[in-house]
Amino acid sequence: MSYCGILFGIQPNTNKTNMIEIKDLHKSYQMGSNSLHVLKGINFSVKAGELVAIMGSSGSGKSTLLNILGMLDVADSGEYKLDGVTIKDLNETKAAKYRNKFLGFVFQSFNLINYKTALENVALPLYYQRIPRKERQEKALKYLEMVGLKEWSHHLPSELSGGQNQRVAVARAMASEPKVILADELTGALDSTTSYEVMDLIQKINDQGNTILVVTHEDDIAHMCKRIVYLKDGVIIKDEKVKQVRASEYV
Ligand code: ADP
Ligand code: MG
């Protein structure tokens, strides 16, 4: 498969300080009188330009951690700095602003709006950033081209394959030019070949200098990243750099 157009226009962050820094993060869920301690003191940092897999079996706390990093949830205690900004101190409005500006999300279930075209889906977050209509359209088209779907821009999600929809979701995450892209089981609903096509795209975006975190329970997907952080029962049991397997070898 070829991606028409080059991966242009993305501003790589060449700042080699920590993009993400977390210290002794704890999170429990309260269920009636019971408390489930899900994150039990997580410490790690991610530098600009890294491609990190957060790996672990189901229930190990991966999504909980990613949701905290994505400012969709808050930790009970610990410290979280995103590009030097302490996240806990932000009020709701500011947090939403930071989330839109700093973070791009990709989910297993794509989370596209089914009555909107690919172009409209990619352009939507830009609307919330109050970017003028013409510029929204241009940007959305640019990022659809980047993921190889320019010709599909006026199609609805129901008219696209699973792999194409996930590429639309990646384009949407990229369109606001975030500091970090967070992906939760982004290949979880896709067959192997399609998964590798999506990982090929993720690798190419990372090659441009973008920082990406990929949550997965699949070993082959984790090894397409450059570093694997293993989570088990709410603690990091291993954190290692790996030789990256290029997805393009499989597509
Ligand atoms: P993973 O993504 O690794 O599968 P999660 O972070 O989703 O793990 O969940 C970790 C644990 O926390 C699981 O036992 C899960 O059932 C529980 N959990 C997750 N979200 C909630 C919630 N909102 N309320 C209560 N328990 C939750
Ligand atoms: Mg999960």
Dist. CA 85–CA 88, nearest whole Å: 9
Domain parsing of the chain, residue ranges: 3-13+49-73+93-249
Would the pTM count as exceeding 0.95?
Answer: no
Q: Is 66 helix (H, G, I), strand (E, B) or coil?
A: helix
Instruction: Tell me which DSSP letter residue 160 carries.
Output: S
Give the ligand at the shortest distance from the Cα of 55.
1
Looking up tokens 């101190």 gives 89
Dist. CA 65–CA 85, nearest whole Å: 18
Concatenate the DSSP letters of all residues of 173-200 into one string. HHHT--SEEEEESTTTTS-HHHHHHHHH
Question: Which CATH superfamily is 3-13+49-73+93-249 part of?
Answer: P-loop containing nucleotide triphosphate hydrolases (3.40.50.300)
CA-closest residue to ligand 1 atom 19 = 64
Summarize pLDDT for 19-63 with one digit per residue, the tens.
999 999 999 999 899 999 999 999 999 999 999 999 999 999 999
Pick the closest to residue 50 from 11, 87, 17 (CA basis).
17
Ligand 1 is surrounded, with C-beta below 6 A, by 29, 31, 36, 38, 56, 58-64
Which stretch of DSSP H or E encloses residue 206?
Answer: helix 192-207
Give the ligand at the shortest distance from the Cα of 56.
1
Residue burial 1-16, b: 16+ Cβ < 10 Å; e: rest: eebeeebeeeeebeee
CA of 64 to the centre of ligand 1 (A): 6
Summarize pLDDT for 198-215 with one digit per residue, the tens.
999 999 999 999 999 999
Residue 15: both structure tokens together: 């700042």
CA-closest residue to ligand 1 atom 17 = 59
The minimum-distance atom of ligand 1 relative to the CA of 231 is 3
pLDDT tens series, the chain, 251 aa = 444 434 444 444 444 579 999 999 999 999 899 999 999 999 999 999 999 999 999 999 999 999 999 998 999 999 999 998 888 877 888 888 888 889 999 999 999 999 999 999 999 999 988 899 999 999 999 999 999 999 999 999 999 999 999 999 999 999 988 999 999 999 999 999 999 999 999 999 999 999 999 999 999 999 999 999 999 999 999 999 999 999 999 98
CA of 64 to the centre of ligand 2 (A): 7
pLDDT given at position 91: 83
